Every structure is written in structure tokens, then in C-alpha cells.
Amino acid sequence: INNIDDIITSEKFPKIIYFFGEEEFLIEEALEKLIHYLCPSKDSKYDFDSFNALDVSTVNLKEEFSKNVVDSCSSYPFVNSKRVVVVRNFDELFAIGRTKKKDVKPSALKNYFDNPQDTTTLLLTGIGAKYKGLSAQMKSAKDRQKALTQIEKADFPFNIIFAKYEWMEFPKVYENGLLTWLIARFKANKKEINHEAAELLLAHCNPDLREINNEIVKVLLYVQERETITNQDVNFIVASSRVNNVFELQKQIGKKNLAKAVAITENILANDDKKMLIITIITTYFTKLWKLYEIASKESNQYKLAGIIGVSPFFVNEYLSALKNYSSAQLNKAFLAIAEAEEKMKSSSTNALYLFEKMYIDIMEN
């Protein structure tokens, strides 16, 4: 598999898919995307099962674990057309570990791999260290035969998976490839970012894809519908420290933490006079909370909720937590407080920090 979207677009879901490689973040992202597509509703839980092989150490436990996985895979779907079974850290079932045996072949799994259930998609994840670089070799005319030979000589069950079923490798993105990855990530979201702005954003992140992606999401939320990302956009996100930016501000407002909200606002205003931009960000934040308030009781799929309110699925729980602190009446009150503060900022010379503090008090009081 070259792209997880290819499976979703084709709607031809393989019986077994193995995701492996060193980039755990990308593996989990692809896995979750496929799970949420195959299990779109809260009733999908009846057709979903998840296992983790990380703590299964002895031969007997591995056999029992494998039987449980196979039993789950062999069940027919109750609500959806497909049953979905996930096994994380699948490689651990075949690791030597404390078993002191090199040839670990749970018989239940062996039989299932020979004849998998048509109505089940089995999703497996692992590091697959022995098969590092296999996808690159398969794509290379020079190395393809070498890859095919490696597949033929692979241990069970990887010889069967690579030969008969679907698999996708997520090789490590090294530091010299992070800039290209970051730019491609924006492009996938139909945004353009110049090299200087991309390098600036990267300079404020550790070489970790999960952290970099979180910063990308912040930039996307900030620019909203605008297609081009500038140096100024990135500067606004990263200029202040991580605990003093607009996204931390809205989080503290969601928690009704007045002291921290005021402190962050003071720091932002001290670095740059962005009072109207702060108003815009807070207005957008409460608009998203209002939308979430209207649909959260009817929809539990985080990917659908994320699409409706326009945030990354990774931030939906943060919004849901904030919603517990605000009733519909309080949300209405928040919009009135924001409108009042905005009007005074435009028409008077009153100190902006004072107006923000008053606005936060009006928003947060019960």
C-alpha cells in the first residue's frame, strides 16, 4: 500500500493489513483513520475489537492470545458490513523474549492466515525491524528481486503477510527529511508554505513528527481558509513561548482558569499588539464549542466531530472537556462578552489588558 487513502477511496478493504516501521506516529495515524472510516458510528463498537501483544510473553499465553484474536476475527459483523480487529505490537507474538524459543508459531493464527474471514479486516501494527527498507526495495527495479527473496525467506507469519496480503511501511523520517515532510503535510491540507516559513516552524520543534504535526495543526487553525502561509503566520504561532501562545490561551479559557488566561494575554500583548487577533481567535474558539454543543450528544465519532467543527481529531477531546464547563446559556453569554470587549477596543483608549480581564471574568463566571 502506498497511501491509506487509496484503500478508503476504492472501498475494497483487504482481509489483513500490516502497518510497520519506525514512525509510530504515522502508523497510529493511518490505523486510526482506517478504524474511524470502517467504524463510523457509536454502534460500531459491536463490530470492533482491539488487542495488544506487548505483554504476552510465554508460549502458552501467546497461544491463548492468538485464539482470542482468531475468535474475534471469525465472528460475523453485527451492525457494519465489516468487522474490524486490531492487534497492536503484533511482532511481540513472535519475539523470542522469555520463551527462549526461536520458532513461535501460534497454531490458531497459522490456520487463520491460511483462510481469513471475508467479512473481517484484521489490522496489525509493529516495528518490523528485520524488514526495514522493504518498501523502498520493492519500488526499486534494482533491488526488487532482493526484496522478493527476503519475503520468501521471511519467518512466519511475515512471509505470508508480505506475499499474500497488504502491508505498508512507515520508515523513519530523518532530520534532513523533516523539511520536505513538513511542506508536504501542508500541501496535503491544500496549503502552501515557503521554505523560510517552514524552516522557522521546524526550528521551534524537536525532531519528532508528532510534535511537528501539532504545530502544523496550530498553523492550519490560525490561517483557516487562507491558502498561503507566511512568515508572519508562523511567527505569531511560535514567537511567544509554548505556554504563552493563543492556543494555550484558549485552552485555559476552556478550563476557566482566569489567572493563567490573563497572564498569557499579558505576555502576548507585550510581544506584539495583537488584541484584535486575540479577539478573533477566541470568537472562533467559542463558535467551535457552540457547534460541538449542538452535535456532541448525537455523534461520537471523533473524526466526524473534528470535520464538523474544523479541528484536528487529536484536539477533539480538549474541546469536549471545555464543553463540560460551559452550558448553552454560558456560551451565549461568552459571545456577548466578546462583542462588548471588541467594541470598546475599537472605540476607546481603555487599556486592552483590562478589557480582556473583564471579558474573561464575564465569560467564566457561573
Cβ atoms of 309 and 292 within 8 Å: the answer is yes
What would you report as the CA-atom Rg of the chain, rounded to the nearest whole angstrom? 25
**How far apart are the two ends of the chain, measured CA to CA in Å?**
52
Q: What would the mean pLDDT of 319-334 be, rounded to a whole number?
A: 93
User: For residue 154, what is the DSSP state?
Assistant: P
Q: What is the pLDDT of residues 111-137, one digit of tens each?
A: 899 999 999 999 999 999 899 999 999
Q: What would the mean pLDDT of 264-291 be, rounded to a whole number?
A: 85
For every residue of 299-321, DSSP letters joined together read ---HHHHHHHHTS-GGGHHHHHH
d(CA 166, CA 101): 28
Task: Give the pLDDT score at 100.
Answer: 47
Task: Give the pLDDT score at 124.
Answer: 96
Task: Give the pLDDT score at 60.
Answer: 80
d(CA 189, CA 114): 40
d(CA 185, CA 222): 16
Q: Other CB atoms closer than 10 Å to residue 79's CB: what's the count?
A: 14
Task: Give the pLDDT score at 241.
Answer: 43
d(CA 313, CA 32): 10
- Beta pairing partners, 20: 126, 169
Answer positive or negative: Cα dihedral of 232, 238, 241, 243: positive
Task: Give the pLDDT score at 273.
Answer: 65
pTM, entire model: 0.68
d(CA 73, CA 116): 8
d(CA 180, CA 253): 35
* C-alpha cell, 195: 521554505
d(CA 234, CA 123): 37
Task: Give the pLDDT score at 98.
Answer: 45
Task: Give the pLDDT score at 287.
Answer: 93
Q: What would the mean pLDDT of 13-30 be, rounded to a whole number?
A: 93
Instruction: Report the range out of 36-45, 140-149, 269-278 with the highest average pLDDT.
Output: 140-149
d(CA 288, CA 319): 8
Q: What is the pLDDT of residues 200-249, one digit of tens each?
A: 888 778 888 998 998 898 899 888 889 999 988 888 777 654 445 777 88
Answer positive or negative: Cα dihedral of 188, 194, 198, 199: positive
* C-alpha cell, 252: 485555559
d(CA 198, CA 204): 10
Cβ atoms of 68 and 30 within 8 Å: the answer is no
Strands (E), the chain: 16-21, 48-52, 83-88, 120-126, 166-170, 192-193, 228-229
d(CA 243, CA 265): 11
Cβ atoms of 73 and 86 within 8 Å: the answer is no
Quote the percentage of the chain above a pLDDT of 90.
47
Q: What is the mean pLDDT of the chain?
A: 87
- Report residue 31's pLDDT band, with 50, 70 and 90 as the boundaries: very high
Cβ atoms of 197 and 235 within 8 Å: the answer is no
Q: What is the pLDDT of residues 77-117, one digit of tens each?
A: 988 888 999 999 999 888 755 444 445 566 788 889 999 99
